[in-house]
Amino acid sequence: MTVTNPVTNLQTLIRCASVTPAEGGALTALADMLRPLGFKIERMTASELGTPDIENLYARLGTEEPHLMFAGHTDVVPVGDAASWSHPPFAADIADGEMFGRGAVDMKGGIACFAAAVARHIEKHGPPAGSISFLITGDEEGPAINGTVKLLQWAAERGEKWDASLVGEPTNPDRLGDMIKIGRRGSISGFITVHGVQGHAAYPHLADNPVRSIIKLTEALLERPFDAGTDNFQPSNLEVTSIDVGNAATNVIAAKATAAFNIRFNDTWSVDTLRAEIIARLDAAAADQALRPGRPPTKYDIAWSDRPSQVFLTRNNALIASLSSAVENVTGQRPALSTTGGTSDARHIKDYCPVVEFGLVGQTMHMIDERVALSDLETLTEIYQTFIQRWFENADI
């Protein structure tokens, strides 16, 4: 296997049908790429009651510091309607200069390119003056319970320490070189329940309609901005994602109403302060009787999602400058340093070392006919190769 070629690397990985939670042979294929380069390969299976077992991989080249970690995932989302694909989703067909296949962009392409970059670095310079590791999970696209979180804990318990991490998620919106992610907004989800009294719609005095109250409560969350944004983050934003009464009858007042919401927040807030703000808004709305004349104050329950994500921002000159200069050197474009978008496994890695994200163009991820330009695979490999060299030169900054 010619590991220096990102195209053949990616074809091998795509042809492994690793839809979460199936390993599908993808981790085995990656191990076969890395082992000839001198990596020590370890496989770890994580379990938790009520969730599928997940196979993960940790590979390390070298034993000395500084230590650079590349992180990512080989699992992919389902293909959807396979008949709608112009090429079979796990065939890795090449047509008109593009490779088609589930995971081409998100994110087997990034893994294929980083493996090729390490191989080229070794071919040109010999092993790095330090250590490089691959921390690869199999459930980033699924529950994300038995993957990166537990793999990081497992490795740290064995004495592994990292000086920096690069996550190979597809960060570029339009073309390679557009964007490096240097942080992520936090995320909290919540669920509000208002209990009313079920009754006949023609006799509202005998019932208590919870719809009136759920509307008031959700309006309280939406009507006033949480902040105006900060130097590094856009304004915090809350979206009500569901309002439901579970009522199929038009002449029945429902017994309860529920609403779900999600807020992506910046560094103005923490999980605790934002939860307190949300409850304060709900309490004020619940006490307002404008929609409930003659009724007692609204009583509501709120439940929070189990795993909120804290906001974070990476401030590490060696890491950010090395990657930015590598991108500019290869593409001629200075990348924007961004914190936009959703969450990623970087939110877990930040607790162990500074982390940034850079990968392919994300326009087709999760779509029918997910695909990547072969030229982008070569360009990303060159960027990663340049980054590896510059990071080890600058790691003591």
Q: What is the DSSP string of 197-252?
A: B-EETT-GGGSB-HHHHHHHHHHHHHSS-S----SSSPPPEEEEEEEE-----SSE
Q: Which of 55, 106, 139, 140 is catalytic?
A: 140
Q: Taking the CA atoms of the chain, what radius of gyration do you get in angstroms?
A: 24
Fold match flag (6-184+311-394 vs 186-304): no
Judge whether 75 counts as a catalytic residue: yes
- pLDDT score of 17: 97
Give, in order, the Cα–Cα distances in Å from 197 to each of 25, 200, 255, 294.
55, 10, 5, 15
Q: How many CB atoms lie within 10 A of CB 90?
A: 21
| The CATH number, out of the four listed (3.40.630.10, 3.20.20.70, 3.20.20.140, 3.40.50.720), of the domain defined by the range 6-184+311-394 | 3.40.630.10
- pLDDT score of 396: 66
Q: Which of 75, 98, 139, 357 is catalytic?
A: 75
Residue 96's Cβ-count burial label (10 Å; 0-12, 13-18, 19+) is exposed
- pLDDT score of 144: 87
- pLDDT score of 1: 52
The pTM assigned to this predicted structure is: 0.90
- Residue 72's contacts (CB-CB under 8 Å, 6 or more residues apart) are 107, 110, 111, 114, 134, 135, 136, 137, 140, 167, 168, 169, 345
What is the rounded CA–CA span in Å between residue 162 and residue 65?
A: 8
Write the DSSP string, 288-331. Answer: --TTSTTSPPP-EEEEE-S--B--EE---HHHHHHHHHHHHHHH
Domains of the chain: which residue ranges? Answer: 6-184+311-394, 186-304
Reading across the β-sheet that carries 164-167, which strands appear in turn? 40-48, 51-61, 131-137, 67-73, 164-167, 355-357, 179-181, 336-338
What is the rounded CA–CA span in Å between residue 56 and residue 336?
A: 32
What is the rounded CA–CA span in Å between residue 348 and residue 166?
A: 13
CA angle, 359 as apex, 312 and 72 as ends, to 5°?
70
**Residue 124 one-letter amino acid:** K
Judge whether 81 counts as a catalytic residue: no
10-residue stretch averages of pLDDT, the chain, 397 residues long: 91 98 97 98 95 96 97 97 98 98 98 98 95 96 92 97 97 97 96 95 91 94 96 96 93 96 96 97 88 79 92 95 98 96 92 97 97 98 98 81
Residue 2's Cβ-count burial label (10 Å; 0-12, 13-18, 19+) is exposed
- pLDDT score of 295: 76
Q: What is 186-304's CATH topology? A: Alpha-Beta Plaits (3.30.70)
